[in-house]
Amino acid sequence: MRTADLNVVARRALADLVGYADELRDLDQALGDGDLGVTISLGAGAVIEALEQLPEDATAAELAKACAKAFANANPSTMAALVAGGLLAGSKTLVDSTEPNQADAARFVRAAGDNIALRGKTQLGDKTILDAIMPAADALEAGSDPVAALDAAVVGAERAVADTKALQSRRGRASWLQERSIGLQDPGATAFLRLLQCWQAALHAAPAERN
């Protein structure tokens, strides 16, 4: 996909993502401090604005870095910094591509997840956003074509998010709840799933609607 089209898809997906802010706030209120809704809505808004400023010929890496910067500064928090660092790490895998393909997307998501794991000192099963990112990266790597790969990534993330309910939170504020965190769905993982779903919808939208 050309970066200019990627820019349009990203903006559309993020505009949709804001619609999930209340869901994310409620999930986060049960497990943390409830600021994830604001982080996502202000963050998505800031990223959309940054993407609007990008030139047509921006590379995919420049696009990812612009997203990272805007997201980090919109509503600063540990979550925002982790996501920004993930996007930055992802951008480094893209070199100067202006037409990223499925393999680029897989590498990008994997590198973002790895950086979040590294910075956050977290691993799969700790009940964090990572639990949804990694199955999606697996699916993007394995998929036979880009559309099938994204569909599989959404399915994988959906299953992973459902599975977080049985897990105990081991990182961040949510870990203070200890056993009481079991039974609750992880807000970070859910946020990533919603982003993927919004991305899927934005891709499938007729080109004429992509504005």
**Are 61 and 91 spatial neighbours (Cβ–Cβ below 8 Å)?**
yes
Looking up tokens 């202000």, which residue turns up?
42
Our CB check for other proteins shows the closer of 119 and 210 to be 119
One residue of 17, 61, 84, 132 binding other proteins per CB under 8 A: 84
Q: Which of 31, 72, 94, 154 binds other proteins (CB under 8 A)?
A: 72
CB of 117 to other proteins, least distance (A): 12
Window of 73-81, 94-102, 130-138, 146-154 that interacts with other proteins by CB under 8 A: 73-81
Q: Tell me if 77 contacts other proteins by CB under 8 A.
A: yes
Report angle CA 8, 192, 136 to the nearest 5 degrees. Answer: 95
Alpha helices in 54-126, H assignment, sequence order = 60-74, 78-92, 102-120
What single letter denotes the amino acid at residue 190?
Answer: T
Q: Nearest distance from residue 150's CB to other proteins, in Å?
A: 26
Helix (H, G, I), strand (E, B) or coil at 71: helix
Contact yes or no for 152/142 (Cβ under 8 A) = yes
Q: How far is the CB of 126 from other proteins (least distance, A)?
A: 14
Pick the stretch among 97-105, 117-125, 177-185, 190-198 that binds other proteins (CB under 8 A): 117-125
Smallest gap from residue 205 Cβ to other proteins (A) = 30
- Helical (H) or strand (E) element with 204: helix 187-204
Under the criterion CB under 8 A, does residue 113 sit at the interface with other proteins? no
Spatial separation of the C-alpha atoms in residues 63 and 67, rounded to whole Å: 6
- Name the burial class of residue 62, with classes exposed (0-12), middle (13-18) and buried (19+) by CB atoms within 10 angstroms of its CB: middle
Applying CB under 8 A, which of residues 68, 111, 137, 140 lies at the interface with other proteins? Answer: 68
Instruction: Give the shortest CB-183-to-other proteins separation in angstroms.
Output: 27
Q: How many residues bind other proteins (CB under 8 A)?
A: 17
The answer to whether 8 and 210 are in contact (CB under 8 A) is yes
Residues that bind other proteins (CB under 8 A): 65, 68-69, 72, 76-78, 81-82, 84-85, 88-89, 115, 119-121
